[in-house]
Amino acid sequence: MNYLFSSESVSEGHPDKVADQISDALVDQFLAYDDRAHCAIESFVTTGQVVIMGEVRSNVYIDLQTIARKTINQIGYNKSDYQFDGNSCGVLTAIHEQSDDINRGVSRADEEEQGAGDQGMMFGYATNETENYMPVTLDIAQLIMRVLADIRKEGKQMTYLRPDSKSQVTVEYSEEGIPQRIDTIVVSTQHDEFDSDDERMLAKIKDDVLNILMPRVKAEIHSEKVLALFGDDIKYFVNPTGKFVIGGPHGDTGLTGRKIIVDTYGGKGAHGGGAFSGKDPSKVDRSAAYAARYIAKNMVAAGVADEMLVQVSYAIGVAKPVNIYVNTYGRSRVQMSDGEIAQKIEKLFDLRPKAIERTLKLRQPIYRETAAYGHMGRKCEVVEKTFTSRYHETKVMKVELFTWEKLDRVDDIRKEFGI
Does 98 carry a binding-site annotation?
A: yes
- 220-246 average pLDDT score: 94
Same domain? For 326 and 233 the reply is no
Does 268 carry a binding-site annotation?
A: no
Q: Give Cα 398 distance to the centre of its chain.
A: 21
Is residue 352 in some structural domain? yes
Q: What is the pLDDT of residue 96?
A: 86
Helix (H, G, I), strand (E, B) or coil at 87: coil
Looking at the predicted structure, is the pLDDT value of residue 362 above 60?
Answer: yes
Is residue 382 in some structural domain? yes
- 312-321 average pLDDT score: 93
Is residue 356 in some structural domain? yes
Does 96 carry a binding-site annotation?
A: no
Please, which pLDDT band fits residue 264 given cuts at 50, 70 and 90? very high
- Among residues 246, 274, 298, the one where a domain terminates is 246
Pairing assessment for the beta strands 235-238 and 254-255 based on DSSP bridges: unpaired
- 70-99 average pLDDT score: 91
The dihedral built from the CA positions of residue 338, 6, 256 and 394, taken in this order, carries a sign that is positive
Does 258 carry a binding-site annotation?
A: yes
Q: What is the CATH number of the domain that holds 346?
A: 3.30.300.10
Does 335 carry a binding-site annotation?
A: no
Mean pLDDT, the chain, integer = 94
Is residue 338 in some structural domain? yes
Same domain? For 328 and 224 the reply is no
First to last CA, the chain: 33
Looking at the predicted structure, is the pLDDT value of residue 71 above 90?
Answer: yes
Same domain? For 343 and 399 the reply is yes
Q: Give Cα 330 distance to the centre of its chain.
A: 28
Does 279 carry a binding-site annotation?
A: yes
- Among residues 246, 268, 299, the one where a domain terminates is 246
Which comes out higher in pLDDT, residue 47 or 110? Answer: 47
Does 277 carry a binding-site annotation?
A: no
Is residue 300 in some structural domain? yes
Does 369 carry a binding-site annotation?
A: no
Does 108 carry a binding-site annotation?
A: no
Looking at the predicted structure, is the pLDDT value of residue 99 above 60?
Answer: no
Looking at the predicted structure, is the pLDDT value of residue 370 above 60?
Answer: yes
CB-side neighbour CA atoms (13 Å) of 368: 22
Looking at the predicted structure, is the pLDDT value of residue 326 above 90?
Answer: yes
Same domain? For 407 and 304 the reply is yes
Does 165 carry a binding-site annotation?
A: yes
pTM of the model: 0.95
Looking at the predicted structure, is the pLDDT value of residue 112 above 90?
Answer: no
Q: How many domains are there within the chain?
A: 2
Same domain? For 220 and 287 the reply is no
Stretch among 89-98, 155-164, 345-354, 379-388 having the lowest mean pLDDT: 89-98
Buried b (16+ CB within 10 A) or exposed e, 363-378: bbbbbbbbbbbbbbbb
Same domain? For 230 and 290 the reply is no
Please, which pLDDT band fits residue 113 given cuts at 50, 70 and 90? low
Rg of the chain in Å (alpha carbons): 22
Q: What is the pLDDT of residue 317?
A: 87
**Cβ–Cβ under 8 Å, residues 11 and 17:** yes
Same domain? For 215 and 292 the reply is no
Strands (DSSP E) found in 204-253 = 235-238
Does 101 carry a binding-site annotation?
A: no
Does 164 carry a binding-site annotation?
A: yes
Does 259 carry a binding-site annotation?
A: yes
Same domain? For 233 and 311 the reply is no
Helices marked H in 228-283: 248-251, 260-263
User: pLDDT tens digits for 152-194?
Assistant: 999 999 999 999 999 999 999 999 999 999 999 999 999 999 9
Q: Which domain holds residue 413?
A: 120-127+283-417
Q: What is the pLDDT of residue 107?
A: 55
Helices marked H in 55-123: 64-75, 100-106
Is residue 189 in some structural domain? yes
Q: What is the pLDDT of residue 177?
A: 92
Q: What is the pLDDT of residue 97?
A: 77
